[in-house]
C-alpha cells in the first residue's frame, strides 16, 4: 500500500511540475508565458435556435462591485424572456438542449436574481420592446467570471416566472451563446 501511494504521489508531482495539472493556482488565472493573467472580460455572440431570428452580442466585465453583463438582444417577441447562464457551452443540438440546465454549482432551487437561494445562473428576464430589442445591463454580485468561461447564455421564448422548479417555466431555448474570454474593450478591433 505504501509503494502504491508513493508511486501515485510521484506521478502527481511530475504532472504538476510539468504543468499538466494545475497546483494551487487560483482558477481566476489563465497562464500566459510565466505571468498569470486575470480574466476581466468575456463575450457572448448569440446563435438562433430552431426557427428563431434572435441574435445579439453581450459582454461580461469584472468591476469592483461585481460582474456587469451588458449588450443587446434582437429578434425577440415584445415582452419578457427568461435569461440564464447554462452549464455547458455546447451548441450542437438545434433546440439548444445540449447547453444543459441552469448553472447551479451549489444545488439551490430555481429563483429570481434577488432570491436568497437561487441558481448562480438565474439572471431573471430580459424585456424586449415593441421593436423586438432588449437592452441588457445586469449587475451580478458574487459571480466568479472564470467559473462561467466556456458555459453558455440562453434566451428563452417565454417569461421566467422566477418560482417554478426546476427552471422557471420559460419555454423553448430560442438563442444560445458560448461565454468566451475577451480582450479589454479598448483593445478589441
pLDDT tens for each residue of 48-94: 998 899 999 999 999 988 899 999 999 999 999 999 888 999 999 99
pLDDT at 133: 97
What tens digit of pLDDT does each residue of 172-182 get? 899 999 999 99
Q: Is 124 exposed, middle or buried (0-12, 13-18, 19+ CB in 10 A)?
A: buried
84, 118, 146, 151: the active-site residue? 84
pLDDT at 186: 66
Superfamily of domain 39-187: Superoxide dismutase, copper/zinc binding domain (2.60.40.200)
Backbone angles phi, psi at 113, to 5 degrees: -60, -25
Task: Write the DSSP assignment of 50-88 as a string of letters.
Answer: TT---EEEEEEEEETTEEEEEEEEESPPSEEEEEEEES-
Angstrom CA distances, 182 to 18, 37, 150, 186, stand at 27, 12, 12, 11
41, 81, 86, 151: the active-site residue? 86
pTM: 0.75
Q: Is 146 part of the annotated catalytic residue set?
A: no
Q: Is 84 part of the annotated catalytic residue set?
A: yes
Task: Sketch the domain layout of the chain as residue ranges.
Answer: 2-27, 39-187
Query: Is residue 99 pLDDT above 50, yes or no?
Result: yes
Q: Is 92 part of the annotated catalytic residue set?
A: no
Q: Is 86 part of the annotated catalytic residue set?
A: yes
81, 102, 118, 146: the active-site residue? 102
41, 118, 151, 156: the active-site residue? 156
CB 54 within 8 A of CB 155: yes
Amino acid at each position: 500500500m505504501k509503494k502504491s501511494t508513493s508511486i501515485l504521489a510521484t506521478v502527481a508531482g511530475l504532472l504538476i511540475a510539468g504543468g499538466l495539472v494545475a497546483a494551487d493556482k487560483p482558477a481566476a488565472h489563465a497562464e500566459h508565458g510565466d505571468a498569470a493573467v486575470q480574466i476581466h472580460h468575456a463575450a457572448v455572440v448569440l446563435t438562433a435556435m430552431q426557427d428563431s431570428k434572435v441574435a445579439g452580442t453581450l459582454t461580461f466585465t469584472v468591476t469592483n462591485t461585481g460582474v456587469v453583463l451588458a449588450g443587446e438582444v434582437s429578434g425577440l417577441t415584445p415582452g419578457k424572456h427568461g435569461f440564464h447562464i447554462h452549464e455547458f457551452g455546447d451548441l450542437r443540438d438545434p433546440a439548444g438542449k445540449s447547453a444543459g440546465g441552469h448553472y447551479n454549482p451549489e444545488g439551490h432551487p430555481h429563483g429570481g436574481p434577488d432570491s436568497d437561494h437561487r441558481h448562480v445562473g438565474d439572471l431573471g428576464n430580459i424585456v424586449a420592446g415593441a421593436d423586438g430589442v432588449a437592452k441588457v445591463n445586469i449587475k451580478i454580485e458574487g459571480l466568479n467570471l472564470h467559473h462561467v468561461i466556456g458555459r453558455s447564455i440562453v434566451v428563452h421564448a417565454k417569461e421566467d416566472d422566477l418560482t417554478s422548479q426546476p427552471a422557471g417555466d420559460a419555454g423553448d431555448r430560442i438563442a444560445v451563446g458560448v461565454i468566451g474570454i475577451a480582450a479589454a474593450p479598448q483593445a478589441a478591433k
